[in-house]
Amino acid sequence: MPDWTWRYEGYDPAQERLREALCTLGNGYFATRGAAAESTADAVHYPGTYAAGCYNRLTSQVAGRAVENEDMVNLPNWLRLRVRAVDGDWFSPDHCSVLAYEQALDLRRGVYTRRMRLRDGAGRGVLVEETRVVHMGDPHLAGQRLTVTAEGWEGELEVESALDGNVCNDGVERYRGLDGRHLTGVECGATGADTVWLSCRTSTSDIQVAMAARTRVVDGSPPLSPPAAPGGSTAVHRLRRPASPVRPVTVEKTVAVHTSRDPAISDPVSAAVQRAGRAPAFAELLASHTTAWESLWQRAEVDVRDEAGHLLRLHLFHLLQTLSPHTAGLDVGVPARGLHGEAYRGHVFWDELFVLPFLNLHLPEVSRAMLAYRHRRLGAACQAATDAGLAGAMYPWQSGSDGREETQRLHLNPRSGRWLPDHSHLQHHVGSAVAYNVWHYCAASGDTDFLYGEGAEMLLQIARFWARSAVWDPAHERYRILGVVGPDEYHDAYPGAAHPGLDDNAYTNVTAAWVLTRALELADALPAPRRAELYERMGLEPSETERWQDVSRRLRVPFHSGVISQFDGYGELAELDWEGYRRRYGDIRRLDRILEAEDDSVNRYQASKQADVLMLGYLFPPAELSALFGRLGHRLDDDLWTGTVDHYLRRTSHGSTLSGLVHGWVLARSRRSEAWSYVQEALLGDAADVQGGTTGEGIHLGAMGGTLDLVQRGLTGLDPGPDALRLDPVPLPGLSRFHLSLRYRGHWGVGLTVRHGQLHVSAPESAQAPLRIALGDRLETVPPGSSVTLDLPAG
């Protein structure tokens, strides 16, 4: 059985940020990096706390221009809990001799522990043991228990428990030229015998944030004198206790967090103070927290027996901490870097494409909430399309609070020090990702209310956008979509072109054709009154849907040298000297930065950041992809597909953690022997910080979710349709024994076990109709409370 503990031994300042990100604790409402409790932000440490969807907008001066950015705000640091001998310095591994140091994350219970033995300059030793939780049952609560044992001396210890409002967004070096001071109006106070509170507001979005901390010593001694009314921007509570080797001091800190976005509160400060005050003692808090995690693990069971199981469990843990059942009640999307750091400013990209298909079969209410986030911003997406002279919904590449385009227009190349134009907002394919998720969420859950309601509104508007974007080219006798950027963000213009954008990105066009086809299908399936209402509201005429039909069949897919071209003209770009660059630079994942720093441009070469054309093999099972190409008038046979896979495999630098995942997924079906190294890269993406320093700035949630989905859908070929649960497994030796528990429509807890070349499916007891399983030509019916074992095709 893979281990449930994620562990680090020894203190290593160079690794601290990585460990902080991977030891983050969260509950979907908020999360806090696994920073040392005694630390403040400096070159080594970065305690960060983020509430889902809490953004703020600031304007900075960059390269002589005013640049506006919206960021997920780093909230006051509630972790601060430190200790010293009354006449000494605060104990910390940075300033003391470190005799022992251990950090462990108990993934099953969601508990972080840190244990260190330190000796200060005066030779006083201490054993410091901290246990920390961010409560999974009550999303507004967190707690710490700190036990300090004096080793070889006796004396008085001072413990400081604080809420530190003196924080800003400073976690990503590249953004340091930008203003990161988002909090204002910090006020602190004390209440009762043991509680301090802090309140502040975000400077432009005007969200009030309040925290309260109750600190108690657990030695049965009389209550402490109340904390002095704190001033300044930190609410501090200090207390003293005698300590000796036989008399450890244990302190419990219980923290409550509220913001003015919360429902059912009067005001954030009183809500936080009350909640902290009413919270039970730490042991009880720990028990209810553990129970909440237990049921969450049951709902999202993925048990992989091979070595990869440990990493997958870590991925699932962080996924569930970012998107938990509590998230279902919030107006938030899928943050690309979790709630674990400040990279990409907490923005929402297309990464939900890699996360929702997994969640659909475990926490469908969370998927629905993520889609509701998109639906609430449908108006903004339609406005963006109108502003661009188009129609329908043009979803932003990066989305934050209100759904406007948040992609920065300048980005820094740290290698050259130059600020450069950023054209990644031209990735309009994000709209297809939204549509794909609507479709697949509804197929897996059977939620026709959503499909006919918000789902149809989004799908039809996205289809309208694609149809309107497509222009007829008589020379090719095809529709074309011009001036876009595909998933491979390296190419954003033709070499030497005055304008950004590329024409006929195959991924964009094929997914657009898919969206149009699905939209037409849905339009037919809508109950007549709803169809009439929707058409009326959208001003949709039959002539428009006729055009959708036409565009869905005649969008252009470019080809060159017997392979699908990433975009029109891709085949004419120069070949890169891959070996030469690897020799010179070693790691060439960020080839774009390397070439720009050489005054060259990646736009000149057949060199991609990540899977682009091959994304098609990730999204669509082989038969569906062939049918899609067939509809577009092309024959997609094995030769064309394997030739295309070969072509791009040799020309991709994997500058995104999504790349290894997609390549592993695609190769598992086309060239299995090579799949494993890509899958491994995806599995190790964050644990080994494969992209060199990026994990410390936040986990890569898409890749984490995607590796789980690789087991769930990639290797099983699972396609949860309305008529049956279709399966089309492919073996991958490194991931050959696993068990999943799924929620498929009315069946809660469908068991799917792959082992020894067999597939075992069990249907849970229920009053539902029997489960229908399709494996190749075989159709099996599994009544509730029974199971079936099928031999997997050899291969």
- Closest contact distance (angstroms) between CB of 397 and ligand BGC is 8
Comparing CA positions, the residue from 74, 58, 70 lying closest to residue 167 is 74
Interaction of residue 568 with ligand BGC, rule CB under 6 A: no
Interaction of residue 351 with ligand BGC, rule CB under 6 A: yes
d(CA 485, CA 478): 20
Among 76, 227, 230, 702, binds ligand BGC (CB under 6 A): 702
Interaction of residue 610 with ligand BGC, rule CB under 6 A: yes
Query: Is the Cβ–Cβ distance between 511 and 583 less than 8 Å?
Result: no
Q: How many CA atoms lie within 13 A of 255 on its CB side?
A: 29
Residue among 503 and 612 whose Cβ is closer to ligand BGC: 612
Residue among 351 and 492 whose Cβ is closer to ligand BGC: 351
Residue among 351 and 457 whose Cβ is closer to ligand BGC: 351
Binding mask 647-676 for ligand BGC (x = CB under 6 A): ---------x-x------------------
Residue among 479 and 490 whose Cβ is closer to ligand BGC: 490
Among 344, 465, 479, 744, binds ligand BGC (CB under 6 A): 344
Residue among 96 and 595 whose Cβ is closer to ligand BGC: 595
How many C-beta atoms lie closer than 10 Å to residue 561's C-beta?
A: 8
Task: Select the span of 252-260, 344-352, 373-381, 495-503 touching ligand BGC (CB under 6 A).
Answer: 344-352
DSSP 560-577: ETTEE-SSTTGGGSBPP-
SS3 content of the chain, % helix, strand, coil (to 5): 35, 25, 40
Extract long-range pairs of 377-380: CB within 8 Å, 24+ residues apart.
377/402, 377/403, 378/457, 378/458, 378/461, 379/403, 380/404
Among 50, 297, 349, 452, binds ligand BGC (CB under 6 A): 349
- Closest contact distance (angstroms) between CB of 672 and ligand BGC is 25
Comparing CA positions, the residue from 701, 639, 497 lying closest to residue 52 is 701
Active site residue 405: no
Task: Select the span of 206-214, 249-257, 348-356, 520-528 touching ligand BGC (CB under 6 A).
Answer: 348-356
Query: Is the Cβ–Cβ distance between 461 and 392 less than 8 Å?
Result: yes
The single residue of 457, 489, 596, 681 carrying the catalytic annotation is 489
Interaction of residue 466 with ligand BGC, rule CB under 6 A: no
Residue among 24 and 517 whose Cβ is closer to ligand BGC: 24
Interaction of residue 180 with ligand BGC, rule CB under 6 A: no
Interaction of residue 350 with ligand BGC, rule CB under 6 A: yes
**3-state secondary structure at position 582:** helix
Dihedral angle sign, alpha carbons of residues 131, 137, 140, 141? negative
Query: Is the Cβ–Cβ distance between 140 and 275 less than 8 Å?
Result: yes
Task: Select the span of 343-351, 458-466, 682-690, 759-767 touching ligand BGC (CB under 6 A).
Answer: 343-351
Residue 646 assigned to a binding site: no
Residue 609 assigned to a binding site: yes
Write the CB contacts of 692 (distance below 8 Å, at least 6 apart in sequence). 587, 589
Task: Select the span of 7-15, 346-354, 361-369, 722-730 touching ligand BGC (CB under 6 A).
Answer: 346-354
Among 268, 487, 558, 705, binds ligand BGC (CB under 6 A): 487
How many C-beta atoms lie closer than 10 Å to residue 633's C-beta?
A: 11
Dihedral angle sign, alpha carbons of residues 311, 312, 317, 323? positive
- Closest contact distance (angstroms) between CB of 486 and ligand BGC is 10
Interaction of residue 489 with ligand BGC, rule CB under 6 A: yes
DSSP 24-67: -EE-SSEEE----TT--SSSS----EEETT-EEEEEEEETTEEE
Strand 758-762 versus strand 787-791 pairing type: antiparallel
d(CA 71, CA 75): 12
Task: Select the span of 106-114, 265-273, 342-350, 775-783 touching ligand BGC (CB under 6 A).
Answer: 342-350
Residue among 166 and 413 whose Cβ is closer to ligand BGC: 413
Consecutive H or E run containing 439: helix 430-445
Residue 350 assigned to a binding site: yes
Dihedral angle sign, alpha carbons of residues 630, 632, 635, 637? negative
DSSP 144-189: EEEEEEEES--EEEEEEEEEE----S---GGGTTS----EEEEEEE
d(CA 25, CA 48): 11
Interaction of residue 681 with ligand BGC, rule CB under 6 A: no
The two structure tokens encoding residue 407: 């992609």
Burial class (CB in 10 A: 0-12, 13-18, 19+), 597: middle
- Closest contact distance (angstroms) between CB of 696 and ligand BGC is 15
**3-state secondary structure at position 694:** coil
- Closest contact distance (angstroms) between CB of 487 and ligand BGC is 6
- Closest contact distance (angstroms) between CB of 381 and ligand BGC is 17
- Closest contact distance (angstroms) between CB of 374 and ligand BGC is 15
Residue among 490 and 514 whose Cβ is closer to ligand BGC: 490
Among 44, 188, 249, 336, binds ligand BGC (CB under 6 A): 336
Burial class (CB in 10 A: 0-12, 13-18, 19+), 772: middle
- Closest contact distance (angstroms) between CB of 345 and ligand BGC is 11
- Closest contact distance (angstroms) between CB of 433 and ligand BGC is 9
- Closest contact distance (angstroms) between CB of 241 and ligand BGC is 47
Residue among 69 and 656 whose Cβ is closer to ligand BGC: 656
Q: Contacts with ligand BGC: how many residues (CB under 6 A)? A: 12
Task: Select the span of 113-121, 212-220, 349-357, 475-483 touching ligand BGC (CB under 6 A).
Answer: 349-357
**538, 543, 544, 550 alpha-carbon torsion, rounded to 10°:** 160
Cross-strand pairs, 563: 560
Interaction of residue 6 with ligand BGC, rule CB under 6 A: no
Binding mask 546-565 for ligand BGC (x = CB under 6 A): --------------------
d(CA 316, CA 706): 10
Binding mask 586-605 for ligand BGC (x = CB under 6 A): --------------------
Residue 253 assigned to a binding site: no
Residue among 197 and 350 whose Cβ is closer to ligand BGC: 350
Q: Given the rule CB under 6 A, which residues bind ligand BGC?
A: 336, 344, 349-351, 487, 489, 609-610, 656, 658, 702
Q: Point out the residues that are catalytic.
A: 489
Give the residue ranges of the annotated binding site: 350-351, 609-610
Give the residue ranges of the annotated binding site for substrate: 350-351, 609-610
